[in-house]
């Protein structure tokens, strides 16, 4: 085949994909906004995002959760077999999602504690879910931190530090890779024939450089009820760590519109006050 004809066919194929994507985005613009939460373990979505999820759902938006691991390692219960614990924690995650009004929960069933070695496969699975669910915004962890510094100087920050779970870092890294060089690129091929999708907004929990916060004061009691679904965990310490009047994030605009306008819900994603 002459090279000119080959180039022409490639150009026409690219134009056809662009037309289909514009049509899909126009149709999606008339639907409720979609938010996708990518996490490592059952309970992470509620600890990091419950108040924000509730606010978004109350606004009429859809929220979906993708859980990367089976959660078979973490518990305060004595002598629970790993397989049984994984089943318990999945059940708890489903119960918490029902209480919050989440539209769907997906489990990828990777072994708890082993995501660092599975990041390429994890990225592919995240791309698949992004292209399938077509979220406007994605929520996940900041993958850059090995240690979460305590910040006692501000009422918006946690007073104590903690080691950042390696599974959290792996999920955050895979999520950023999926958004930046996977889900939106037509030439990123998947086994499933799914159309590319570009995410508009990215929010990172427990970030190194927070720039927005959400006031979840009206949702404190509902968040407490949701967290109480996790019987296999140390609920009292969770309630102390998880229920804050504000939750801070790093907002990263991923589209020209988000870059120009800031977070879509500027009414409750407030800029974080700066401290010299």
Burial (Cβ within 10 Å: 0-12, 13-18, ≥19) of residue 68: buried
Kindly report the pTM of this predicted structure: 0.83
Domain ranges of the chain: 31-271
- Say if domain 31-271 classifies as CATH 3.40.50.10320: yes
pLDDT value, residue 242: 54
pLDDT value, residue 84: 85
pLDDT along the chain (276 residues), means of 10: 55 55 46 93 93 95 97 76 87 96 97 88 96 97 79 43 82 95 85 89 92 91 92 72 73 91 90 70
pLDDT value, residue 146: 77
CA 126 and chain centroid, separation: 10
Under 8 Å CB-to-CB from 68, ≥6 apart: which residues? 38, 39, 40, 41, 108, 110, 115, 122, 167, 170, 171
pLDDT value, residue 263: 92
pLDDT value, residue 161: 60
pLDDT value, residue 64: 98
Angle of CA points 44, 47, 53, to nearest 5° = 95
Burial (Cβ within 10 Å: 0-12, 13-18, ≥19) of residue 49: buried
């Amino acid at each position: 085949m002459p090279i000119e004809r080959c180039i022409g066919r490639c150009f026409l194929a690219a134009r056809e994909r662009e037309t289909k994507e514009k049509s899909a985005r126009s149709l999606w613009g008339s639907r409720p906004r979609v938010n996708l939460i990518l996490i490592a373990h059952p309970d992470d979505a509620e600890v990091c995002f419950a108040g924000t999820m509730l606010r978004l759902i109350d606004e009429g938006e859809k929220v979906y959760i993708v859980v990367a691991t089976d959660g078979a390692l973490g518990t305060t219960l004595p002598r629970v077999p790993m397989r049984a614990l994984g089943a318990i924690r999945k059940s708890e995650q489903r119960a918490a999602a029902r209480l919050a009004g989440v539209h769907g929960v997906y489990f990828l069933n990777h072994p708890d504690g082993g995501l660092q070695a599975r990041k390429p496969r994890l990225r592919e699975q995240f791309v698949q879910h992004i292209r399938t669910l077509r979220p406007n915004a994605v929520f996940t962890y900041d993958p850059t931190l090995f240690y979460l510094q305590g910040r006692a100087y501000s009422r918006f920050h946690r007073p104590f530090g903690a080691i950042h779970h390696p599974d959290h870092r792996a999920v955050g890294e895979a999520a950023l890779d999926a958004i930046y060089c996977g889900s939106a690129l037509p030439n990123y091929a998947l086994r499933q024939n799914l159309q590319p999708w570009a995410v508009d907004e990215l929010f990172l929990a427990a970030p190194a450089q927070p720039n927005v916060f959400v006031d979840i004061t009206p949702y404190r009691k509902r968040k407490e009820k949701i967290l109480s679904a996790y019987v296999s965990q140390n609920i009292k310490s969770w309630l102390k760590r998880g229920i804050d009047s504000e939750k801070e994030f790093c907002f990263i605009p991923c589209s020209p519109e988000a870059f120009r306008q800031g977070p879509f819900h500027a009414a409750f994603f407030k800029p974080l006050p700066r401290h010299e």
